[in-house]
Structures are given as C-alpha cells and as structure tokens.
Amino acid sequence: MSFLGKVYWQVLIAIALGVVFGYFYPAAGAAMKPLGDGFISLIRMMIGPIIFCTIVHGIGSMHDMAKVGRIGLKAIIWFEFISTIALILGLLAAHLVEPGVGMTAHATPAGVKAAAGFVTKAADDSVVAHLLNIIPATFISAFVGGDLLQVLLISVLTGVALSRMGEAGAKVAHGVDLMGKVFFRIIGYIVRLAPLGAFGAMAYTIGAFGVAALANLGTLVATFYITSLLFVVVCLGLTAHLVGFSLFKFLRYIREELFIVLGTASSESVLPNLMRKLEKLGSKDSVVGLVVPMGYSFNLCGTNIYMTLGILFLAQATGTHLTWGQEATILLISMLTSKGAAGITGAGFITLAATLQIVPDIPIASLALLFGVDRFMSECRSLTNFISNGVVTLAVARWENELDRPKLLRELDAGPAKVED
C-alpha cells in the first residue's frame, strides 16, 4: 500500500470518493464546497509572493535588460500563435459536430439567475478597464487583490531596479531568493491538503449539479473534451517534439499536479509547483519566473477552445444563424477577451459572457444553458491551460537558449521528483 503515500494517488481516490458521495448524498455533497474553496484560497494566498520573489530574483540577477524584453516578446509571440490555433479548433469542432443542433434542454430558473450574475461581471470588464486594472492602486494592493498581471508589473519593475543597483541590488535579490524558498516550503505543506480539497470540490460539483446535467448536454461536453485532447496531443505534442522532448514523458513528470487540477478545477492551485518543476527540468529561473505568470493571463488555450465552441453551440441551440464575417469577429474579439482570465473556477464563464455581448444576435439569456455543465468543463479548461503553459515555457526557454536539454531529458527519463526537494 506504499502507493497511498503519493499525493496523486490520494487525490485520485479523493476524486472518486467525492463523486460517489455527491451522487448518493447530493445535499451533503453540495455542502462540501468550502473544502475545495478553502484549499484553493490557501494556494492563492501564496501565489503573489512566490511570483514576486521568483521574478525579482531572476531579473535582479540579470544585467541585460534587453534580454528581459526579448524573453517577454518571444513569450507573447508563442502565446498568440498557440492561442489562435485553440480558438480556431473550437470553431471547427462546433461546425463538424454541431452539438447545439436539435437542442432540447431548457434553461432552469436557477441557471438563468446564476448566469445573470456572470453577465453583470462581464459587462463591468471592458478592454480599457481591464488594461487600467493592470496598474495596482498601491504596491501592496497588488498582493491583496491577487491579480497576476498587477503582481507581474511590480515584480518586473522591482527586478529592473535591483539589476541597476550593483552590489547592493545583488544582496537584496539574494535575500528575495531566500524568501522565495520559504514560500515554496509553505506551498509544500499546503499541497498535502490537496486530497481534501479535491474531495470537497468534486462532491460539490456532483451534489449541486448532478450527472443529469451531463446527460442533457453530453454532446457538448464530449466535443469539448475530445477537442482539447486533440489540441494537447497534436498541437502541444508537435511543439514538444520541436523543442526536443516527449510530451507524454512531460505529462508523467507533472502527473501529481494534473490530478490536483482535475480535482480542484483550478490551474492556479499548482502554479508554484509548475514553476519549480520547470526549473528542475533545466529552464532558467529568469525565463520561468517571467513566462509562467504571463501564461496564466495570456496563454489560456483551454479557455479559448471553450469560448468559440460555446458561442457557436449557443447559436446552434437558439437557431441563430451566424455569417462567416460574424464568426471572424468572434475569433478576433475572443483573442482579446480571453486575455487576463485567471485560472480559477468561473473565469472562463465570465470571459464567454463578455464575448457573447459582442454578438447581440445570440440571446444573452442562453448562457443559462451552459451553467449546469460549466463546472464539468472547467476541469478540462484548467488542465489544457496548465499543460499548455508548461510546454510553451520550455519552448521559449529553448528559443532563448536558456534550456539545459541534457538535464531536461535526464529528468524526464527519471520521472517526477518531489517539488520540495
């Protein structure tokens, strides 16, 4: 029974128990929601400090600011390229399968009410407001609000300042690095609670929404999962091959984190672990510290597939005919609205609502059709986002000649190691 000592086995068992508990005791299962929310909150409280320490130390130890800009530009190029492919795949899948044609499911009053809340949030998040929100009210408020882009901004500015301060800046950067090690140690303790969080999140999902939601919208859910799987295997697999490693070995290496994402439906819950493992795989900390946080706001491929597939599904379900011009508009708008969506549960639904408002022909109330299965699709969104960010970070590191390929291959062959090692 030694396998029970592995976190990923504990999480997998917790997911199964959560499904069973939520199915047979739906009211009690729905009441387990605080367990999942509490675990994610514990992780999120550490993300800001960890990103800050990692980026500040990485940039503060560098003296070539042109290199920092170059890494950021290369990351943006990768993000836009791979995200656009994801958006197009969502459109193609909707046209090929047509999951909304002949739709018979109806929106429930509870679903309409819940979806209305997301529409209100989306209406308040215009492009200009989103851009201005990147600037925090104060230096400290960036950590209080938990906005990754705000933390990224102050981290880069602090790192650049330290890199220009000579020996004094180097000493401060070293101190920040030591603090980062403390935060990573704390994360190691929190991750041990992952099985409890996974149980609570899964029990809530099944208890609150039930498997009936999956039965009613099964074609849509299956289409989304299959499309995401094809994206990971083909698109990300090809990217990994070009970089020089096996995608499946990489998936084995991060399997513990994958199970945690599956159980909590949040890619943020394993962001610190991903950063540490990418460094273990031979990517320089300066690249990891800059690219991974950017990826969590700009490289959300799972969310992109969900958005275009979801919008066309709603058009089909409501009998709304969209011209090719309208679909092209949806594609372009989605490239903007998908940026900055956090890796937390519900963010994908908000960005979908924001995008849908650009296409007034589709009744905004139709969002309620998706609410019942959004939680089931959230797991797939988060998994796809998480894997994509890992692969793209290694691709940027290779492009920048900041990837130790012999170490990468050696670590992947050896299998996953504990992050706290």
Task: Provide, rounded to the nearest whole percent, the portion of the chain with pLDDT above 70.
Answer: 82
Question: Residue 150: exposed, middle, or buried by beta-carbon count in 10 A (0-12, 13-18, 19+)?
Answer: buried
Residue 75 is encoded by which pair of tokens?
A: 């990351």
Task: Provide, rounded to the nearest whole percent, the portion of the chain with pLDDT above 90.
Answer: 19
CA atoms within 13 A on the CB side of 380: 22
Our measurement of the distance from residue 216's CA atom to the centroid of its chain's CA atoms, rounded to an integer in Å, reads: 26
Q: Rounded mean pLDDT of 71-95?
A: 90
pLDDT in tens, 109-154: 544 455 555 455 545 555 566 667 778 888 888 888 767 778 888 8
Residue 321 is encoded by which pair of tokens?
A: 């005919």
Position 65 pLDDT exceeds 80: no
Range among 61-70, 96-105, 137-146, 307-316 with highest mean pLDDT value: 307-316
State phi, psi for 403 to the nearest 5 degrees: -120, 125
The span from the CA of 127 to the CA of 75, in Å, is 21
Q: What is the 3-state secondary structure (H, E, C) of 169-200?
A: HHHHHHHHHHHHHHHHHHHHHHHCCHHHHHHH
Nearest to 56 by CA among 144, 143, 186, 145: 143
Residue position matching structure tokens 């605080």? 34
pLDDT in tens, 213-232: 666 678 888 999 999 999 99
pLDDT in tens, 384-399: 999 999 999 999 999 9
The hierarchical CATH code for the domain 2-414 is 1.10.3860.10
Q: Which one has a higher pLDDT value, 247 or 15?
A: 247
Residue type, 329: T
pLDDT in tens, 28-64: 888 888 888 888 888 888 888 888 888 888 777 776 6
